């Protein structure tokens, strides 16, 4: 599981200092006991060339669906909401507005839709999983417009990518960026960007970090997988990002993930998360998606596990990827937040296009 690189570590410990046996194998379904983490890893060199394993199947939290599950999915075939569930599309909150004014000490986030955020932190502008396209492969067109006009963006200082699924890694959007934009990606994904002539690509393993103009970017585990073609299943890694400003303000971007033990470990390793950007949609049917997508109640529990002060829901209201009614994730996350006894003002259930500034 441990990659070999120009600056390699021992065969039993990953570069972030986590032992190999601290990562669940594909056959392990029960959460592992809490681990005592060493200090955070030193940032790796930007653009470092790395050599990785051929695949990352050993990082799976649960096995990928087998033939029986695929047969059941084909038989039941419920991958879209019914007519009543789609009736909520016109009611998805959409309130685009100007980006807030910020300085180097201000953290602000703007939801462009799905998992795409404009994060202003440490004086930099960071895009997460930018998808500005109207349509992605294999999915109907987006049901809400992009919340931020591309021309309205300030200079993009960095892009972070969680994994290679089409709704998170969008080639048409990325082609809009200057090729010298710093891009931070999971292990095994740099080649995809290099083929498209990006020149400043940094790929990281779980628990590794890089630093850009004082902003620390840590790549952390997620309960998910990767695949882009018929032959590249789990050939690149998947995960989330912890962005830490020079003054210590901290934003966690989960990417795409199911619920599980990684959240409490991330919270222990990166205390003081000011805001967690967590997915709440694409969860039905549950038997098919529970291993890789949080439902709203699990997302709220994840925020608690992380010790995050605030949560902003995402991964809903943009693309219809599964069978739950379009508006259900929003209603359920609000109810779960209230049942958890958490302050209402700390749930940043933003409309698409809206912004919020950390105070």
Instruction: Please tell me the distance from the alpha carbon of residue 64 to that of residue 141, in angstroms, as a whole number.
Output: 27
* 3-class secondary-structure state, position 79: coil
Cβ neighbour number for residue 51 with a 10 Å cutoff: 9
Is 13's pLDDT higher than 70? Answer: no
Structure-block tokens of residue 358: 């950390």
Burial 71-102 (b: 16+ CB within 10 A, else e): eeeeeeeeeebeeebeebeeebebebeebeeb
Note the pLDDT tens digit of each residue in 130-149.
Answer: 999 999 998 889 999 999 99
Q: Please report which confidence band the pLDDT of residue 37 belongs to, taking 50, 70 and 90 as the band edges.
A: low
Ramachandran angles phi, psi of 193, nearest 5°: -75, -40
Is 311's pLDDT higher than 70? Answer: yes
> What's the pLDDT at 24?
39
Is 248's pLDDT higher than 50? Answer: yes
> What's the pLDDT at 8?
33
Instruction: Report the percentage of the chain scoring pLDDT > 90.
Output: 83
Instruction: Report the percentage of the chain scoring pLDDT > 70.
Output: 89
Residue 239's Cβ-count burial label (10 Å; 0-12, 13-18, 19+) is buried
Range of lowest pLDDT (64-68, 191-195, 331-335): 64-68
Cβ 20 vs Cβ 14: under 8 Å: yes
> What's the pLDDT at 186?
98
Residue-wise DSSP of 230-271: TT-TTSS---EEEEE-TTS-EEEE--S---STHHHHHHHHS-
Structure-block tokens of residue 187: 């292990």
Q: Can you tell me the mean pLDDT for 274-295?
A: 96
Q: Can you tell me the mean pLDDT for 190-202?
A: 98
Q: Please report which confidence band the pLDDT of residue 19 belongs to, taking 50, 70 and 90 as the band edges.
A: very low
Q: Please report which confidence band the pLDDT of residue 76 belongs to, taking 50, 70 and 90 as the band edges.
A: confident
Note the pLDDT tens digit of each residue in 152-187.
Answer: 999 999 999 999 999 999 999 999 999 999 999 999
Is 5's pLDDT higher than 80? Answer: no
Instruction: Please tell me the distance from the alpha carbon of residue 266 to that of residue 37, in angstroms, as a whole number.
Output: 10
* E strand segments, the chain: 4-5, 50-51, 108-113, 116-121, 124-128, 158-160, 183-186, 201-204, 208-212, 215-220, 240-244, 250-253, 275-279, 311-314, 355-357
Return mean pLDDT, the chain.
90
Q: Can you tell me the mean pLDDT for 319-328?
A: 96
Is 203's pLDDT higher than 50? Answer: yes
> What's the pLDDT at 21?
38
Structure-block tokens of residue 22: 């601290």
Ramachandran angles phi, psi of 158, nearest 5°: -160, 155
Cβ neighbour number for residue 130 with a 10 Å cutoff: 28
Q: Can you tell me the mean pLDDT for 43-47?
A: 98
């Amino acid at each position: 599981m441990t990659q070999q690189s120009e600056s390699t570590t021992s065969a039993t410990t990953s570069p972030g200092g986590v032992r190999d046996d601290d990562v669940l194998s594909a056959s392990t379904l029960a959460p592992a006991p809490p681990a005592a983490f060493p200090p955070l890893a030193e940032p790796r060199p930007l653009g470092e060339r790395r050599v990785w394993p051929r695949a990352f199947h050993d990082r799976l939290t649960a096995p990928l669906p087998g033939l029986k599950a695929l047969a059941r999915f084909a038989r039941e075939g419920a991958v879209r909401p019914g007519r009543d569930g789609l009736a909520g599309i016109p009611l998805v909150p959409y309130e685009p507005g100007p980006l807030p004014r910020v300085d180097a000490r201000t953290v602000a986030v703007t939801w462009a839709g799905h998992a795409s955020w404009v994060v202003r932190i440490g004086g930099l502008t960071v895009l997460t999983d930018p998808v500005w396209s109207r349509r992605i492969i294999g999915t109907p067109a987006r049901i809400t417009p992009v919340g931020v006009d591309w021309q309205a963006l300030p200079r993009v200082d960095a892009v972070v990518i969680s994994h290679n699924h089409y709704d998170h890694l969008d080639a048409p959007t990325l082609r809009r960026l200057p090729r010298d934009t710093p891009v931070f990606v999971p292990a095994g994904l740099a080649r995809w960007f290099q083929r498209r002539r990006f020149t400043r690509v940094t790929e990281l393993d779980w628990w590794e970090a890089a630093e850009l103009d004082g902003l620390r970017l840590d790549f952390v585990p997620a309960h998910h997988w990767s695949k882009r073609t018929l032959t590249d299943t789990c050939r690149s890694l998947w995960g989330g990002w912890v962005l830490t400003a020079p003054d210590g303000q901290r934003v966690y971007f989960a990417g795409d993930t199911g619920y599980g033990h990684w959240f409490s470990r991330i919270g222990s390793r990166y205390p003081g998360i000011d805001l967690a950007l967590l997915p709440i949609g694409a969860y039905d049917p549950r038997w098919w998606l529970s291993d890789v997508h949080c439902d709203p109640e699990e997302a709220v529990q994840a925020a608690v596990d992380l010790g995050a002060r605030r949560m902003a829901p995402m991964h809903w209201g943009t693309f219809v990827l599964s069978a739950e009614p379009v508006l259900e994730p929003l209603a359920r996350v609000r109810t779960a937040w209230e049942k958890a006894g958490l302050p209402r003002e700390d749930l940043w259930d933003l409309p698409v296009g809206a912004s919020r500034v950390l105070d």
